[in-house]
Amino acid sequence: MSIDVAQIRADTPGCEARLHFNNAGASLPPDPVLDTVIAHLRREAEIGGYEAAAEANSRLEHFYQAAARLVGGKAEEIAFIENATRAWDMAFYAIDWHAGDQILTAQAEYASNYIAYLHVAQRHGVEVQTVPNDSHGQISVEALEKQINERTKLIAITHIPTNGGLVNPAAAVGKVAKAHGVPFLLDACQAVGQIPIDVDAIGCDMLSATGRKYLRGPRGTGFLWVRESMIGELDPPLLDLHAARWTGPDSYEVRGDARRFENWESFVAGRLGLAQAIDYALDLGMENIRDRIYALATQLRDGLDSLPGATVRDLGRERCGIVTFTVEGHDPQAIKETLAAQSINVSASRRASTLLDMTERNLDVVVRASVHYYNREDEVDRLIEAVKAL
């Protein structure tokens, strides 16, 4: 089955007003997602927030089934969290850290994650080690295996970094982690909704995701998946009356499923909207979505490669829908603003977001153009021509 781009664009009115190539930041939601969120907010105004949530209970529960299907897990392994960073934090800070424990991570790790590593390093005396890249610019699985020792407490990497098209070999990392009995935390913020995800095939134990990026869901939504066998080993850093039950004056009991990582109060309309966004993606088929995104990204890279002075900066044996580049003599932020004046949305990815990787490559900032399946081939050509006109 191929994606009916005309129908998808009919569901996405924002496509007509501008060329949106900032999908790695936040993609344009389709009308079914927008309608779902607005309808629930309107219902809250009509009958009350608690009452509207109770009325929508079966659809709220559907979220867990949909998210589980999306990543190949179980509904009991899913927690709704307000964003991917907080979802990642809830898993990471639930680990019982001790002095001497070791974290192994990748060169292109995201700033929020690395700051958390440094935080527990300062607080608990944990050691953080970065695994070098291989010749393709992705995490070296061979080096990873050599760095594992009896103190290795966690392997944590970003599947698709924020600053380029690199797709780290997560399944190969998972195989090494499993062989050595080391928990594996995967930041799948840019991967979920863009490529097929199967947590068993990958071999991760924890996975964080957002709604606003390739899933085309509402902002302020995300989720955490934790393998059933791992849930009981993690002590959530925060608890409330939803995550735990107050059993006596001096006692409480934590939930046995992944909802121990949730808050009682959450964006109810957003959870309904995220469930709708997941259903929308699953109906299209994740393989179809990946294939179209990759094809558009290849077209964009090839076009940029043909331009004098333009350099595509993406690494990796496998490259996804995020395309980063620089143009000689032009500041990336200025390029972003020039394109914005032509109703073309791109982003600028800065060194601070992926400090180790960008420093290693002597890059301060790059233009980031991220395609989605609703973009057309002629739109990609228009972006290439706009860069050429610089």
- Domain CATH number, residue 94: 3.40.640.10
Residue 76: other Cβ atoms inside 10 A:
16
| Same structural domain, 245 and 326 | no
Q: Which residue has the tokens 């009896």?
A: 150
| Same structural domain, 183 and 327 | no
Where is the domain boundary, 283, 318, 352?
283
| Same structural domain, 179 and 317 | no
How much of the chain, in percent, has pLDDT values that exceed 90? 99
| Same structural domain, 313 and 337 | yes
Spatial CA neighbour of 324 closest among 360, 290, 367, 291: 367
Query: What is the DSSP annotation of 151-194?
Result: TEEEEEEESS-TTSSB---HHHHHHHHHHHT--EEEE-TTTBTT
| Same structural domain, 237 and 376 | no
- Residue 153 is predicted with a pLDDT of 98
Collapsed DSSP state (helix, strand, coil) of residue 281: helix
Spatial CA neighbour of 173 closest among 196, 150, 195, 199: 199
* Amino acid type, 332: P
- Residue 1 is predicted with a pLDDT of 63
| Same structural domain, 36 and 154 | yes
| Same structural domain, 45 and 181 | yes
What are the pLDDT digits (tens) for 62-121?
A: 999 999 999 999 999 999 999 999 999 999 999 999 999 999 999 999 999 999 999 999
How much of the chain, in percent, has pLDDT values that exceed 70? 100
What range defines the domain where residue 65 resides? Answer: 32-283
- Rounded CA separation 133/357 (Å): 10
Residue 2 clears pLDDT 90, i.e. is over it: no
Q: Please give the model's pTM, rounded to 2 decimal places.
A: 0.97
Q: What is the CATH number of the domain that holds 362?
A: 3.90.1150.10
Rounded to 5°, the CA angle 189-190-193 comes to 95
Pairing of strands 322-327, 347-350: unpaired
Cβ(170)–Cβ(159) below 8 Å: yes
- Residue 95 is predicted with a pLDDT of 98
For the residues 368-381, what does the mean pLDDT come to?
98
What are the pLDDT digits (tens) for 156-178?
A: 999 999 999 999 999 999 999 99
8-11-16-18 Cα dihedral, nearest 10 degrees: -80
Q: How many domains does the chain have?
A: 2
* Amino acid type, 8: I
| Same structural domain, 298 and 182 | no
- Rounded CA separation 80/324 (Å): 31
What are the pLDDT digits (tens) for 229-275?
A: 999 999 999 999 999 999 999 999 999 999 999 999 999 999 999 99
The set of residues, in sequence order, having a beta carbon less than 8 Å from that of 236 and lying 6+ positions away, is 90, 94, 243, 254, 260, 261
- Sign of the CA dihedral 176, 68, 243, 209? positive
| Same structural domain, 155 and 237 | yes
| Same structural domain, 139 and 226 | yes
For the residues 286-307, what does the mean pLDDT come to?
98
Averaged pLDDT of the chain:
98
Which alpha helices (H) appear in the chain, and where do they start and end? 5-10, 14-17, 31-47, 49-55, 57-71, 84-92, 111-124, 141-147, 170-180, 199-202, 228-231, 268-284, 286-305, 332-340, 355-360, 377-388
Spatial CA neighbour of 164 closest among 5, 293, 315: 315
For the residues 356-366, what does the mean pLDDT come to?
97
- Rounded CA separation 106/244 (Å): 34
What are the pLDDT digits (tens) for 111-133?
A: 999 999 999 999 999 999 999 99
Where is the domain boundary, 283, 298, 331?
283
Residue 319 clears pLDDT 90, i.e. is over it: yes
Residue 55, CA distances (Å) to 38, 78, 93, 230 in order: 15, 22, 34, 33
| Same structural domain, 192 and 319 | no
Alpha-carbon 151 to chain mean position? 28
Where is the domain boundary, 283, 313, 346?
283
| Same structural domain, 23 and 107 | no
